[in-house]
Structure 1
Amino acid sequence: MAFQDLREFLDAVEKVDELKVVHGADLASEIGSITEITAWSAEHPLVLFDDITGHPVGTRIAVHSFDSYRRMQLIYGFPDGLRGAALTAWWKDRLGDYVPVPPVEVETGPVMQNLMIGEDVDLFRFPAPMWHAQDGAPYLATGGASVLRDPDTGQLNAGCYRGMRYDRNTIGHHLAGGHNGQVIRDKYFARGENCPVVITLGNDPSFTLAGAENVGFGQNELEFGGFLRGAPYEMVTGPLTGLPFPATAEVVLEGEILHPDVEPKRSEGPWGEGLGYYASAFAQPAVRIGAVYHRDDPIVMGEPTLRFRNRGAAGGFAQTARRLHLLERSGLEGVRGIGQVGPFLVVSIKQHYSGQVMRIADYVMAGLADRPPRYLVMVDDDIDPSNTALVNWAIATRVDPASQIHIQRDRWCNVINPAGLTPAKRAIEDYTLGTTIIDACKPFRWRADWDRMFARSDIQDELRAATAAKWEDVLGPLITAPKPA
């Protein structure tokens, strides 16, 4: 659905009774704490912080924009009642019909209501919480998106990168290794130039989701965002950088990522990551902000990473759909489904020939437009790849570790994971680790004999139904409960 701005989205959220306003919380400990605790509950509300200590009434922070079925439905427009595999299939089919919707340029918009430029720039005007108790400093940018332009191709890129506030006109900007933003930034650095950037702190939620989407290098997230919302973005061109930003954004920072020869790198972090650890502080190029544009009573979006965040019944469907879409477009025969079970990315297939399992696994390990999974589990098509019990059962009963677990080395990895990323590796920005493929499929060579040799012992459906009917009055839900898997 095409919301004009964050405010129109908040109005829609309030109408479906999913908005909770909190008055008087402080930035030092309470906003981060409330954000984390409320994230633990399924289908929790969007929380809007107002009367923030040290800031005028009306200067607000909105958190949990994407953490419920209903809010994701407002953004994506999927039919009511779709859940799980059906919801993934719906978005996967929509991706199959993808048509870019380019943004349109406009002269001005609400974001230009207020201007700070040069020496007048003061980032302390906007609320930046300590999201986690041991973060290295307050983080101002956690929920918006950044726009950069490839100096070689002119292609625009939007991405979601956290921003730690250093001082009145400088922030950190964590462009993780391997992301498009890092590649673009370093192209400027190779030329001996600073990298122009604009950073939104609050916007129509689809703009953040577009920035987080793995559309592939060289593709335009702004065009994808237009497709997602069903209407083009209206964009203002920044006078300092020539980069576009949403005309209806809440706050936009315009500046440059400074070449290390212009200004030495600064320590960015620690930062509380979603895996439940603090990512170590390490040197990153700083961003010097030359101009700030903002609306009256601006709203900053906050989406800090949290270990225990319940995204609700629609959580993760878009990423799963993207992966399934790319797998189906690969032309590889037999792909039936994809899911996430704990740390495992799980792909179910219908086997047709020897070697098919590892052929598909190798394609998945190319990353599906993102990092390779740390653990990939391949299962047969009788296993629901989103069902924890069935996936664990397949691993427990169909895997010979000596021949069906494959370890790969020196793979691009997620830098937030502490396992194996020693201080020495981080110091030289070597973000590679091992990955694992677990082939939990029935061996193809035994396909004709497996079920005969290993008959399942579960109660048959007919006997289960007859038993439940006879004993329902005595045992109730104890006897009528559905089969676990």
Structure 2
Amino acid sequence: MNHLRSLREYIAELDKIGEIQRIDAEVDWNLEVGAIIRRSYDLQAPAPLFTNLTGYSGSGFRLLGAPVALSNPRHRLARLALSVGLPPEATGQQIVDRLADARAKPGIPPVVVAAEAAPCKQNILLGDDIDLLKFPTPWIHGNDGGRYIQTFGTNIAKTPDGTWTNWSVNRMMIHDRNRLACLIPRSQQLGIIRALWTERGEPMPIALALGTEPGLPIVGGMPLPAGMDESHYLGAVFGEGIELVPAETVDILVPATAEIVIEGFVSLDETAMEGPFNEYPGYNSSEGSPKPVFTVTAITHRDGAILPVVAAGPPVEEDDTVIGTTAAAEILYLLREARLPVSSTWYNFEAAVHWLTVAVRQDWHESTGLGSHELVDKIADVIFSGPAAVHAPKILLVEDDVDITDLADVVWAFATRSHPDVDRGAFHYPPELTDPLTVYLNDEEKHSFAAGKVIYNCLFADLFPQGRRPVKGSYRNGWPAEIQERVLSRWEEYGY
């Protein structure tokens, strides 16, 4: 296991495998940076590291684009794998299993270090020295409402009684030198904590950590249960506590190796216009709206700080890789805990976290005595009863002869195995927790944070007796092993 403890260690590991593209040519933070990042997604190119930003020449500040995007086919999930301590060639299922396995372990608390041992304290800005515009924060998309400094950082807040600290990823736009406009949906855990502070009549203390060790924004995007501290869970992933240090002006512990830490308070009632902003469903938002204001009381940063940047939009980008992988892991853990015959879970990234595929063992019918509708209902009860439901509007249920990480295999199974009859192929469920950014929702659904769910049944085992079930006519299943091996060994001899 390789626990990378800083963004800089992570960049160094990516550079070793050719996954960093250093850009020393001058690049404008105003739109050009965002366009390069988007193009890098489309090509699955190395992550761009911008070192020379217009108007910030000589400052030493840098931007890292596409921090956990897809890589080339040799190690497609390298950025995600390295973030959770796995080798770059790890598969999607290995990553999901690692995260799901850690959920079954007790959390490991962070280690608190002294300020002098924390790189994030190299520069401390207070009072009149606070200036958010000091950093080359990009204007990412052409239709954005402003410059977004928080697209892949970690928001840290705790309940007034101090019993729960939550780490999350929510977008934040610069309003002026010392204020941010923040998206804080009341249905999300950051919104729940803010409501507790509002009940006390106090602004919510908050810290925003940017450029942390790579695992933190990964778990910040995971739908863990309310009351669970993501930093403790990340400790369980690595088998050791992560390093934190006290903030300067709020009673919050922050990542010791963070590139930038912004501290302050979210106002009780002050708002500022925020948005529009391209978001993970992949569409241009057409308007902004008033959002809560985060007034900054301190900024600390490393020398030559590096700001990670995500250019959200159509798949595949970090919303897909991070939320899809971590939500799949949480759902896999919950289904295992319910003792259901589930082999694996996966979000095909191309579906923008709108489409979850669940694979069950091929012997599920014999081992459980259930029919497919009964099994579908049991899976629905588990997934739709908690925060994991937010990213599970559509679920495909298949047997594990399907490679659920292969979109082509999933599409083939859905098309050929799911009956169009609603009594056999599609089972609909009442409204449950959903993400309001989903574009097909009506106004009532967006404001209630609830919408209907559907599970598509692509199961065979209760339709055919054993020995008569359709068998996938694949290379592996269609020829004797001897012929398979012969063809593989002679492939180049054939002229390929």
Instruction: Give the TM-score band, short-chain normalised.
Output: 0.7 to 0.9
| Deviation string, structure 1 residues 378-436 (Cα, Å, up to 9, x no partner) | 223444433444544444444242313233343221122111233x765xx33222221
Whether contact under 8 Å (2:418, 2:456) holds in the other structure is: no
Match of 1:344 among 355, 363, 376: 355
Match of 1:320 among 323, 328, 344: 328
Letter in structure 2 aligned against 1:348: A
Measured after TM superposition, the shift of residue 170 of structure 1 is: 0.6
Whether contact under 8 Å (1:398, 1:442) holds in the other structure is: no
* 1:259 match: secondary structure: strand
Q: In the alignment, what sits opposite 2:157?
A: 148
Any stretches of 5+ residues in structure 2 without a counterpart?
72-76
Q: In the alignment, what sits opposite 2:78?
A: 70
* 2:385 match: secondary structure: coil
Change over 3 Å in CA distance of 1:151–1:370 after alignment to 2? farther
In structure 1, C-alpha distance between the alignment counterparts of 2:433 and 2:477, rounded to whole Å: 50
Change over 3 Å in CA distance of 1:317–1:154 after alignment to 2? closer
In structure 1, C-alpha distance between the alignment counterparts of 2:472 and 2:68, rounded to whole Å: 42
Q: In the alignment, what sits opposite 1:403?
A: 423
In structure 2, C-alpha distance between the alignment counterparts of 1:166 and 1:310, rounded to whole Å: 26
**RMSD of aligned Cα (Å):** 3.3
Change over 3 Å in CA distance of 1:435–1:283 after alignment to 2? farther
TM-score when scaled to structure 2? 0.83
Equivalent runs, 1:360-379 vs 2, <5 Å: 360-367=379-386, 369=388, 371-379=390-398
Q: In the alignment, what sits opposite 2:236?
A: 227
In structure 1, C-alpha distance between the alignment counterparts of 2:13 and 2:276, rounded to whole Å: 36
Match of 2:297 among 290, 305, 312: 290
Q: In the alignment, what sits opposite 1:270?
A: 276
Measured after TM superposition, the shift of residue 149 of structure 1 is: 0.7
Measured after TM superposition, the shift of residue 6 of structure 1 is: 2.0
Is the counterpart of residue 433 in structure 1 residue 451 in structure 2?
A: yes
Letter in structure 2 aligned against 1:330: A
Change over 3 Å in CA distance of 1:455–1:193 after alignment to 2? closer
Whether contact under 8 Å (2:311, 2:317) holds in the other structure is: no
In structure 2, C-alpha distance between the alignment counterparts of 1:385 and 1:121, rounded to whole Å: 49
Change over 3 Å in CA distance of 1:151–1:310 after alignment to 2? closer
Change over 3 Å in CA distance of 1:55–1:378 after alignment to 2? same
Measured after TM superposition, the shift of residue 463 of structure 1 is: 6.8
Is the counterpart of residue 305 in structure 1 residue 312 in structure 2?
A: yes
Change over 3 Å in CA distance of 1:370–1:200 after alignment to 2? farther
Measured after TM superposition, the shift of residue 133 of structure 1 is: 0.8
In structure 2, C-alpha distance between the alignment counterparts of 1:125 and 1:249, rounded to whole Å: 17
Q: In the alignment, what sits opposite 2:32?
A: 30
Measured after TM superposition, the shift of residue 26 of structure 1 is: 0.5
Change over 3 Å in CA distance of 1:370–1:180 after alignment to 2? farther
| Deviation string, structure 1 residues 153-177 (Cα, Å, up to 9, x no partner) | 5311111111101111110121234
Deviates more, 1:86-95 or 1:317-326: 86-95
Q: In the alignment, what sits opposite 1:10?
A: 11
Q: In the alignment, what sits opposite 2:210?
A: 201
Measured after TM superposition, the shift of residue 460 of structure 1 is: 9.5
In structure 2, C-alpha distance between the alignment counterparts of 1:3 and 1:463, rounded to whole Å: 44
Equivalent runs, 1:28-177 vs 2, <5 Å: 28-42=30-44, 44-57=45-58, 58-67=60-69, 68=71, 69-79=77-87, 81-108=89-116, 109-177=118-186
Letter in structure 2 aligned against 1:47: P
In structure 2, C-alpha distance between the alignment counterparts of 1:198 and 1:224, rounded to whole Å: 19
Change over 3 Å in CA distance of 1:466–1:360 after alignment to 2? closer
In structure 2, C-alpha distance between the alignment counterparts of 1:63 and 1:406, rounded to whole Å: 40
Change over 3 Å in CA distance of 1:420–1:321 after alignment to 2? closer
Is the counterpart of residue 448 in structure 1 residue 449 in structure 2?
A: no
* 1:284 match: secondary structure: strand
Any stretches of 5+ residues in structure 1 without a counterpart?
none
In structure 2, C-alpha distance between the alignment counterparts of 1:462 and 1:203, rounded to whole Å: 46
In structure 1, C-alpha distance between the alignment counterparts of 2:346 and 2:251, rounded to whole Å: 41
Change over 3 Å in CA distance of 1:381–1:358 after alignment to 2? farther
Measured after TM superposition, the shift of residue 298 of structure 1 is: 1.5
Whether contact under 8 Å (1:394, 1:441) holds in the other structure is: no
Measured after TM superposition, the shift of residue 439 of structure 1 is: 2.2
| Deviation string, structure 1 residues 428-483 (Cα, Å, up to 9, x no partner) | x3322222122232484x4439x75x8669589787569989x98xxx89x999xx
Whether contact under 8 Å (1:2, 1:230) holds in the other structure is: no
Change over 3 Å in CA distance of 1:116–1:459 after alignment to 2? closer
Change over 3 Å in CA distance of 1:436–1:114 after alignment to 2? same
Q: In the alignment, what sits opposite 1:413?
A: 434
Instruction: Count matched residues.
Output: 466
Deviates more, 1:81-90 or 1:10-19: 81-90
Whether contact under 8 Å (1:40, 1:310) holds in the other structure is: no
Measured after TM superposition, the shift of residue 138 of structure 1 is: 0.9
* 1:277 match: secondary structure: coil
In structure 2, C-alpha distance between the alignment counterparts of 1:292 and 1:457, rounded to whole Å: 58
In structure 2, C-alpha distance between the alignment counterparts of 1:112 and 1:84, rounded to whole Å: 36
Measured after TM superposition, the shift of residue 7 of structure 1 is: 2.2
Change over 3 Å in CA distance of 1:461–1:56 after alignment to 2? closer
In structure 1, C-alpha distance between the alignment counterparts of 2:37 and 2:461, rounded to whole Å: 47
Deviates more, 1:164-173 or 1:411-420: 411-420
In structure 1, C-alpha distance between the alignment counterparts of 2:474 and 2:28, rounded to whole Å: 57
Match of 2:192 among 183, 186, 189: 183
TM-score when scaled to structure 1? 0.85
Whether contact under 8 Å (2:102, 2:236) holds in the other structure is: no
* 2:241 match: secondary structure: coil
Measured after TM superposition, the shift of residue 32 of structure 1 is: 0.4
* 1:408 match: secondary structure: strand
Measured after TM superposition, the shift of residue 213 of structure 1 is: 2.7
Change over 3 Å in CA distance of 1:432–1:113 after alignment to 2? same
